[in-house]
Amino acid sequence: MATILIVDDQPANRDFLVALLGHQGHRLLQASDGAEALAKVKVEQPDLVIADLLMPTMDGFEFVERLRADPAITQTKIIFSTAAYNIREVRPRALSCGVSYILSLPAKPRLILNVVNTALSLPDLSSAPPLIETSDPQHPWLPAGPQAFSMTRVEVVSLRLAALIECCRELMLEHDPARLLAQVCQVARELITARYAAVDLLEVEGESPRYFFSSGLDQELATRIGPPPAGHGLLGKLVNENRPIRLRDLSLAPEAAGFPPHYPAMASFLGMPIASPSRLYGRLYLTDKLGMPEFSEEDEWLAANLADQVALIYENALGYAKLQRHVAELERQAKEYAAALSQAEARLAPFNPTESSHDER
């Protein structure tokens, strides 16, 4: 039996792994973000940590870097968990920080157990054992190497496109504009694999924000930052020019000024206007590509398609919300009319002869 810490901000993911690994007799601990996980690792010193790459407060890479910096827990074994279409991008950096296993979720329970059992049997991380992936249904147990992964670039792009399509289908089911945009923020960060993502919808083109959602920051910091000014700096340029912006290094871009105080340090940047053919609604932007120095053309293409779909879905959500408000107003008027009618009938009742008095006459 081993002590295993599951780190994931999605309760459903934690519950699944806890149920699966608990059935094997392991002692399971849980954490919802990197900061909480670091505290538990120091106290509990688990045999293994399964950490999601995309978490609030810090991503998986920063979590591992902080863990490795503490001599008391530096030898803790780590498995990254992520979506299958991100493995090829994050693998080099994962290996460089001493994480030799990447678990693609969702995966079959047998494959998850194989990865966990193999990780637990390693003598230490310094021997750099082969990285194991569970994303290929034909070869679910693949060591790293020149011939280890046979997927072509077209297949990888197709996989990410399929994920984009599935995300858009799920978003179309959401009719509340606020909840929709919160979901979009999380979807964009996971699909593009960025440290931080934000959606900023404007009340009127170029004016103050109506909705602002972020993913990748703890709630306290996000509240302190607040929405960025609509027409300033890089984000203002994104709205004013109504075109994508992709930068490798924000420190080399003078127009990067304009972010609110307390914004975290940022390197690479990818921004997209959210616009339908008839109107500009706002902006979607991501910073710090995980595992890579910059966002790719493929990332830009995926983000642009997501932003286009979001604009259309958002318009539908606004229309649905408007319809709901109209229906609610009709219901309110109907109740008021019924109440007024009832009161009028009550006032007229003493003047109407009853059936009993008619019989007496």
Per-residue pLDDT tens digits for 342-352 = 777 777 777 66
Rounded to the nearest 5°, which phi and psi values hold at 32?
-95, -10
Average pLDDT of the segment spanning 166-181: 74
Residue 323 has pLDDT above 60, yes or no: no
Q: Could you report the per-residue pLDDT of 184-223, keeping only the tens digit for each?
A: 888 888 888 888 888 888 765 444 457 888 888 777 777 7
Using 50, 70 and 90 to split pLDDT, how confident is the model at 129?
very low
209 vs 282: CA distance, rounded Å: 8
Residue 124 has pLDDT above 60, yes or no: no
Residue 316 has pLDDT above 80, yes or no: no
Beta bridge partners of 202: 209
Q: Would you kindly state where each structural domain of the chain is located, as residue ranges?
A: 3-147, 154-318, 325-351
Q: Which CATH class name applies to 154-318?
A: alpha beta
Contact of 290 with 193, CB cutoff 8 Å: yes
Residue 83 has pLDDT above 80, yes or no: no
Residue 94 has pLDDT above 70, yes or no: yes
92 vs 107: CA distance, rounded Å: 22
Using 50, 70 and 90 to split pLDDT, how confident is the model at 4?
very high
Q: How far is CA 337 from CA 123, 170, 327, 347, in A?
A: 78, 40, 15, 15
Distance of CA 177 to the CA centre of its chain: 16
Q: Which residue has the tokens 């968990």?
A: 81
Please give the pLDDT value at position 335: 76
* Average pLDDT over the chain, rounded to an integer: 75
Q: Could you report the per-residue pLDDT of 237-290, keeping only the tens digit for each?
A: 888 888 899 988 877 765 666 677 677 778 889 999 988 877 888 889 998 888
CATH code given to domain 3-147: 3.40.50.2300
